Structure 1
Amino acid sequence: MNRQRNRKGATREFLGEFLGLNPGSTGPQIIAAGADRNLAASSIYRDLKTWRRIHRTANGRYWLDKIGDPELAVAAEVEHAFEIVKSSRLSDATKVEVLVQLSKTASRAPPVTRAVLELIGLPKLSRRVRSAMLPFVHIAIRAAFQPQESRSATSGIPRPRYAARLLESTLRLLDAFLDDQGGDGTIAWNTLYAIVTSPDAPHDLDLMGIAKRAIAIEVKGGLPSPSPVKAFLRKLAENERVGPAMKRELLRRVTMARGTSRERIRNLFEALDLGQLPRRSLSTPNPDLPPGP
């Protein structure tokens, strides 16, 4: 047991010394140097992946502590976070800690890298871990869909294809948080807002499907004020195709709604500047119809 601990300590001692003198070395270069000290390649690679002082850039080079270029530093942080979050051996608490730190780091130089896609696309993560990832997802979306906010061009993937892959993973991750009454719901809707207000938003994005989800949330009571859902709907109401469809959807709902739900629909109709509901829509609903959602 003592020998195992000593060997681990020796590996990190070597890495600290070697990368301090040879920053930006590749994996094979580090392994070759470690072999001169009889250090196992598996032990070196393990510490390269898990030691928090080590950063790996997108081109496969390793650095100790801070990397001078903020874009390279953030890219390395994303790759490090990916290795931690995908691990089945590490606790959720460890993964959450890494993701919280990543969100702080990524805001300095919003990343557009392949590792971003790999991290956000990871399957079977707990809700706690996905919740901790939301701020980073928001940063990544703004970097891809509001490109003036990102100086990074390190993905190696054509930007339209990168944005499409990122959007697919993001929509899947956000879905579980759109009904959340706390901060997670706010981040999720603000992320959607960044997508739909982008000139690069895909033309086949199901805006009306998202609008119906937002309307249903508002009819149920909405998110705390100032509601990001309502801000999202206001933006969609300006769309010449979606705006009229939203008006028809609200008119359909109001004829079936009762009580508080009907009042909320009326208020939403006015808040979205869609005019006033026709008087016939405000008459007593048909008792043979089921109540609205």
Structure 2
Amino acid sequence: MAKNNLIGGSIWDEYSQKVQDRMNHPKFMGEFNEEDAKNRDAKLIVADFGAESCGDAVRLFWLVDEKTDTIIDARFKSFGCGTAIASSDTMAELCIGKKVDEAVKITNLDVEFAMRDEPNTSAVPPQKMHCSVMAYDVIKQAAATYKGISPEDFEDQIIVCECARVSLGTIKEVIKLNDLHTVEEITQYTKAGAFCKSCIKPGGHEKRDYYLVDILAETRAEMDREKLKNAMKSDVAFDEMTMVGQLKAVEAVLDAEIRPMLQGDGGDMEVIDLQKAEGGAIDIYIRYLGACGGCSSGTGATLYAIESILQEELSPNIRVMPV
């Protein structure tokens, strides 16, 4: 099969030599039938999986020794692009000699790594990484068929990034542990979003149930609420706190209750100073940023909302002064 029939020429140089070889000369393309299984005293397993993202499909054939649950041979038939052919060929080879439970642990990342010429150089372009996901999914389908269970029984986590197999729980944990603020940081720590980029935000190659931009916003909001909750646990009343303590409490409320509202409209705010005034008043001086800087409501409805929230959460003696 000629390379021009497989992929566009502009990205050809981004493929490893191993991938190119398997595209043109796959080693394990073919099929088994019941007679083949009988001759080798094995059970025939046939599994199909299709990828909606690119219209590709793959059929996997296993010959399994039922006495040991070992996959003694494997073949595939691919109905798709060159990357899918190379990935399926590699996947079939990786399955041979493994027990079924071991094969289920093979991921698309393992397949991609096995196709690299150099350990630190990707085997396929990032935008084609999703094509290797079928290799992971069809293995689950084959194992489920052999065991008589559902493929979903192998998946105990919500996967956000199919390309890198990164779960929702992992992403949220990494954001919290490392105090991450950007999607780029999430990608740096987890590799989520590094390949086809469909999971970063709506409008990508594939539609997703979860997107990194939303997970980041929701997790940061959870962190801000937790920060506010911890700030409110203090046994010292706000009016009796030191100035440092008061500033921390104010910032916690701003992060949890006020800044998300302002940032949603393209604005923000910062605390310039905090002073104790006559009569027990506590004056908080703020500066509006971004779109809020030139907004007339900054001295009207927005100011009233900020002051009301701080008074309710911290102290009725608070006054907010824009500068």
Bucket of the pairwise TM-score, normalised by the shorter protein: 0.3 to 0.5
> Looking at CA atoms only, which structure, 1 or 2, has the larger radius of gyration?
2
Of Structure 1 and Structure 2, the greater helix share is in 1
TM-score (normalised: structure 2): 0.34
